[in-house]
Structure 1
Amino acid sequence: MKILFVAPWIPSRYRPRSLEFLEILAAEHEVALLALTHDEAEIEEAAALPVTDQTLVPNSRVGTMTRSLRSLVTGESLQTGYANPPELVTALRAKIAEWRPDVVHLNVFRTAHLVEACGDTPVLIDLDEFRSEYYEQLAADGPNPAWRAIGRVEQHRMRAREDELVRARVPIILSAPGDTRPGTYVVRSICDFPLQPHTATAPTVLFVGRLSYEANVEGLMWFAREVWPGIKQAVPDARLRIVGQDPPKSVKTLAEQDGVDLFANVPSIEPHYGASTVAIAPIFRGTGIQMKLIQALSAGVPTVTSEMVAARAGVRDGEQVRTAEDPQGWVAAIGALLRDRAERERLAVNGREWAVANHGSAAVRGQLDVAYAAVTGHRSVGSDATAYIDEYGQ
């Protein structure tokens, strides 16, 4: 089968879901890549991808900002404006006419405006999530007036396009089992994170996350302010280990508190899971699945998270994770796990089994196969995926 994979960026380890899907498909089929690039470094990254050929369309940063600002006037989504140089549609139509793919795989909402340009060629789009919900949350309780203003503008424009795709029965891939409307298929993100040997020498609470993402920073700051003092009182020798990229000044100041260690821009996060007793995901705004939760479960680290994060992932309190909402609940849940080794081990085993069954490579290949079979009428990937479907179904 010939698949034209269209992305608003170069699939890479920084865009792992895009890269993983591209690699799965390229292992079994001819895959051509059509993508936007910002600079020479991204062009070099693209050269290493396992594709039959590639068409790269320049997307200058000045151009992205100009089109995004213009979107405020034209009424289109800011996300669309960001990734919509006119050369992209031209290149897409030319590639379809020349190469005649069996299916076009569109990657994330920033390519949603390309559906109609695919004409009669079967198309599916990996939205990952119905992202408009995130902007609705921002509009209601964003961290500052600027974010709330963006949320008010973007939520309606993005929702309108999402609803349009659903009404048109465009096959949509989602990463979470929550909002599965007609024509949607759940294909989770791969997490083959290895089980980590336990090396913690002190009761250690771990937070892992991209620290340039405002929802991560807000959740972490809330935890440090509202929960951490209570944990220190209950378990005086407890330590908080923060691991993430590009921490802002507010996070850097946390390292000045008693028992808090900050590890910024580390080459590998794996050892930090092994050096921790309990992981946390104190996120109260967001959509889709928090991969920090899936990584922790896959690594075999018992995890405490918010009810929202657990519900979106499909894990349950007391079975694969512990959940909490208010500071007292967080202190109680974490304190109990820090003191109870048997309970930590039980949750670690359950969480690891769940992560492998739902986010392991074989599982995700099977999920992707279901989505492609619905679009093309035949299997998209290999026998391992077929075995998964036979055993687990969709």
Structure 2
Amino acid sequence: MKILFVAPWIPSPERPRSLILLRMLAAEHEVRFLGLVRNSAERRLAAQLPVADPVLVDNSRLGSVARSFRSLLTGDSLQTGYADPAALVPRLRQEIASWRPDAVHFNVFRTAHLVEAAAPVPVVIDLDEFRSEYYAQLAAEGSNPLWRALGRIEQPRMRAREQRLVQAGVPIILSGPEVPGPPTPGTAVVRSPCDFPLRPPGQVAGPVVLFVGRLSYEANVVGLHWFVRSCWAQLRAAVPDVTLRVVGADPPRSVRALVGDGIELHANVPEVTPYYADATVAIAPIFRGTGIQLKMIQSLAAGVPTVTSSTVASRAGVRDGVHLRVADTPDEWVRAVRDLLTDSASANGMAAAGREWAVAEHGTEAVRQQLARAYGMLSAPRPQRDSPVGG
């Protein structure tokens, strides 16, 4: 099959889902890549992609921001406006006309506005998640008025576009099962690949509690601050020599200010694997968000006992007391982390079950099979369109 893979960025280790799914498709199909670039560094990244002669369209940061502001007036999603330079649609149509792909693979919601431009070629779109749900949460619970305002603006626009894709029968890939309720027709689950190495035995010096996450992501920062404010003093009282090790890219000043009182910050590290090897317990205190948290997948795959919220656990399909511990209130969090720090037998059993789940659901071979089933939707009968995709 000839597949044109279209992305609003250059897949890279910082965007592992995009990169690994591109590699999987390129290993079994003839794949051409069309993506947006902002600078020379991203052009160098594009040269490392597992495809020949990637097609690149300039998308300056200033132009992206200007188009997002314009979207405020047009009623379009700010996300799609951000990724819609004037040259993109003509170049997409040019590639389709000249290369004649059998299918077009659109990567994330920022490419959703391009679906019509690919006609009549069959398309599949990897939304990863129905992102409008996150913006609904942001509108209700954002950490400041600006975030809440953004959520109120963006949620209905994104939701309307998602609904039009569903109504038109566009095959949609999601990274995890929908919670709650039955799956939306025309969707397939392709989990984010994560062949994270199992840590070597006997290296934990402990007790170390590990938080890994992109620290420019608002939900990560809010969750980390909540844990420190609501749980850390109680946990230190229960386990006096415990250390909280925070590992992540681009920490804001508020996160840097947390350092001290047993809290370490390791910013912009080249590799997170050594930090999992040294951790006694990993935490994912995320109470708002969608999709499946990569930090949880990594910690389970590494064999690190893990504590997360019911929100994260339910979306992933992991079970409290089997694969990890689930906690929501401060007392539950302190008790769960303390138990895993002090009861090695229980912690080791849970870590083994968590590792088994991560390999079975997120290992390369499992995801390859999921991706093949998703592409099977291209040949399935389409539902009758209730309305056009555009609008």
> TM range, normalised to the smaller chain?
over 0.9
Q: What is the match of residue 269 of structure 2?
A: 266
Q: What is the match of residue 354 of structure 1?
A: 357
Q: What is the match of residue 246 of structure 1?
A: 250
Tell me the CA shift for residue 254 of structure 1: 1.3
CA distance in 2, matches of 1:272, 1:23: 27
Q: What is the match of residue 122 of structure 1?
A: 122
- Taking structure 2 as the reference length, what is the TM-score of the superposition? 0.95
SS in 1 for 2:205: coil
Aligned pair partner of 2:224 in 210, 220, 225: 220
Q: What is the match of residue 132 of structure 2?
A: 132
Tell me the CA shift for residue 200 of structure 1: 2.3
Is residue 371 of structure 1 aligned with residue 374 of structure 2? yes
Is residue 231 of structure 1 aligned with residue 235 of structure 2? yes
Q: Once the two structures are superposed, what CA deviation does each residue of 1:174-210 show, in whole Å capped at 9, x if it has no partner? A: 0011253000000001110000124222311111111
Q: What is the match of residue 75 of structure 1?
A: 75
Q: Once the two structures are superposed, what CA deviation does each residue of 1:33-52 show, in whole Å capped at 9, x if it has no partner? A: 11111111111211221214
Which 10-residue stretch deviates more, 262-271 or 138-147? 262-271
CA distance in 1, matches of 2:2, 2:72: 37
Which contiguous aligned blocks of 4+ residues in structure 1 show a shift greater than 4 angstroms?
none
CA distance in 2, matches of 1:62, 1:142: 26
Query: Aligned runs of 1:336-351 on 2, under 5 Å?
Result: 336-351=339-354
Q: Once the two structures are superposed, what CA deviation does each residue of 1:8-48 show, in whole Å capped at 9, x if it has no partner? A: 01111111111111111111111111111111111121122
Amino acid at match of 1:240: L
Q: Once the two structures are superposed, what CA deviation does each residue of 1:220-275 show, in whole Å capped at 9, x if it has no partner? A: 0000010011111111111111111111111112112x211111111211111111
What percent of counterpart residues are identical?
A: 64
Q: What is the match of residue 284 of structure 2?
A: 281
- Taking structure 1 as the reference length, what is the TM-score of the superposition? 0.94
CA distance in 1, matches of 2:206, 2:77: 48
Query: Aligned runs of 1:313-352 on 2, under 5 Å?
Result: 313-352=316-355
Q: What is the match of residue 170 of structure 2?
A: 170
SS in 2 for 1:331: helix
8 Å CA contact 1:134, 1:286 repeated in 2: yes
Q: Once the two structures are superposed, what CA deviation does each residue of 1:295-333 show, in whole Å capped at 9, x if it has no partner? A: 000000010000000001110101101001100010111
SS in 2 for 1:53: coil
CA distance in 2, matches of 1:165, 1:6: 17
8 Å CA contact 1:284, 1:308 repeated in 2: yes
CA distance in 2, matches of 1:56, 1:274: 38
8 Å CA contact 2:38, 2:60 repeated in 1: yes
8 Å CA contact 1:30, 1:52 repeated in 2: no
Please list every run of 5 or more consecutive structure 2 residues that lacks an aligned counterpart in the other structure.
381-391
Amino acid at match of 2:206: A
Tell me the CA shift for residue 158 of structure 1: 0.2
CA distance in 2, matches of 1:201, 1:44: 40
Amino acid at match of 2:209: V
CA distance in 2, matches of 1:29, 1:130: 27
Tell me the CA shift for residue 61 of structure 1: 1.1
CA distance in 2, matches of 1:204, 1:42: 36
Query: Aligned runs of 1:12-51 on 2, under 5 Å?
Result: 12-51=12-51
CA distance in 2, matches of 1:287, 1:53: 34
Q: What is the match of residue 302 of structure 1?
A: 305
Q: What is the match of residue 388 of structure 1?
A: none
Q: What is the match of residue 3 of structure 2?
A: 3
> Pairwise CA RMSD of aligned residues?
1.0
